[in-house]
Amino acid sequence: MAVCEVCNNDYEMSFEVRAQGAVHVFDSLECAAQQLAPTCTNCQCRILGHGLQADGQFYCCANCARQQGVRQLVDHA
């Protein structure tokens, strides 16, 4: 068994995620998302889909990007 690095649950079905040269251990997808998913610069929600990026900032949608003054991003092309 391995201990989740987010909630410290010692769980027999924990799993590893390898990202950017590091190995992480989680007991659930929720914990993995909490630790690894980027957050929206505007609303701070976790970005679980593709998201958008401009000038090194992440956004969950074009509306949030617009609220931060980024006009060139769109949700649908």
For 12-40, how does the pLDDT look when each residue is reduced to its tens digit (9 = 90+)?
Answer: 999 999 999 999 999 999 999 999 999 99
Predicted confidence at residue 1, as pLDDT, reads 79
Q: What is residue 43's three-state secondary structure?
A: coil
Query: Mean pLDDT of all residues in the chain?
Result: 95
Predicted confidence at residue 77, as pLDDT, reads 63
- pTM of the shown model: 0.81
Closest CA to 24 of 46, 39, 33: 33
